[in-house]
Structure formats: structure tokens, C-alpha cells
Amino acid sequence: MPTFRVCRAPLELEALRAELVDPTCGAYATFEGWVRKCNDGEQVRGLTYEAFEPLAVREGERIVEEAVRDLGATHAACVHRVGDLAVGELAVWVGVSAPHRDEAFRACRYVIDEVKHRLPIWKKEHYLNGESGWVNCERCTRPAERAPTASGRRQHLHYGRR
């Protein structure tokens, strides 16, 4: 069953992976998004993620379901952290299992790209110089790239937010 969750606690990767194990699948792909120490030339000491959780979960579940339905994945899941995170911490995780690697890779990429574009989750960076700021979203207005789905239809893939 496709799942999306928002959580405050550090993620248990082995438990997340175990949810996707299936003997009918020959491939497993994952994406991990970590807090980095430098962004746009600024030294970052940490991040704060905030979310409108009811909508984020509902839309996140829809995205994960789309990956399974349209891209040939058998199982997919995504977890996004909220709250204060330090440099090096895991902020977002996506996992996909599928019969073959192409479906797993494409579905994994689709989930993270759509999560970053569609969900009401906001990132505030805290800098070493004592300042902080919400990461702006002008990059998310760039035209979307397109990628084929399992059915051959073209799907929008969005890049650049957060």
C-alpha cells in the first residue's frame, strides 16, 4: 500500500525499507535528502521545516499512489521530516520497489520531484552568521520538464523547490 508520512523524529531506515520488501520485486530504489551545510553561498547550521500536515499527507499519498499506478512500481513510500534539523540529518526519504530497476528509478524520481513541487512544506534555513530565512520559491515557477509514464503518456517533472 502506498504511504506518505510527516514526522518529527529521526527516520528508521531499515524499518522503512522492510515495508517495501516483496518477493515479486527485483529492484529497490531510494532517495535520501539531507540537510547540507552550504546553500547559495551561505553557511547553513540547520533547517526548520513546517507543513500544513493534513494537506501534505493527503497530497503526498496521492503522489505515491500515482507512482504506483502510472510508473510500474509495486510499492512506494515517502516520509518527510518537520521541525528543527541539523546539518547532516535526513530530511526526506523515498523508497520504491518494482519488478525492474527502470520502474523503481523512475517512480522514485517522480515521487521526490512531485513532493518538492506540490506539498505545503516550507523550509527555513538558519545560517552560521545568526541570520535565517525562508527559502524562496521563485525557482519552482520554471517550466516543468516532462518524462514518460509507464503508459507512454508524458508526465510533468518539477525541479528546483526547497
Q: pTM score, two decimals? A: 0.82
pLDDT, tens digit (0-9, with 9 covering 90-100), for 108-131: 999 999 999 999 999 999 999 999
Burial of 111 (0-12, 13-18, 19+ CB in 10 A): buried
Higher pLDDT, 160 or 15: 15
Pick the CATH number of 4-158 from 3.40.50.970, 3.90.1170.40, 3.30.1520.10, 3.40.640.10: 3.90.1170.40
pLDDT, tens digit (0-9, with 9 covering 90-100), for 70-108: 999 999 999 999 999 999 999 999 999 999 999 999 999
pLDDT at 149: 52
Render 77-105 in DSSP notation, one character per residue: EEEEE-EEEETT-EEEEEEEEESSHHHHH
pLDDT at 154: 42
Mean pLDDT of the chain: 87
pLDDT at 148: 53
Task: Supply 66's cell numbers.
Answer: 500515482
pLDDT at 137: 47
Task: Supply 75's cell numbers.
Answer: 510499492
Mean pLDDT over 146-155 rounds to 49
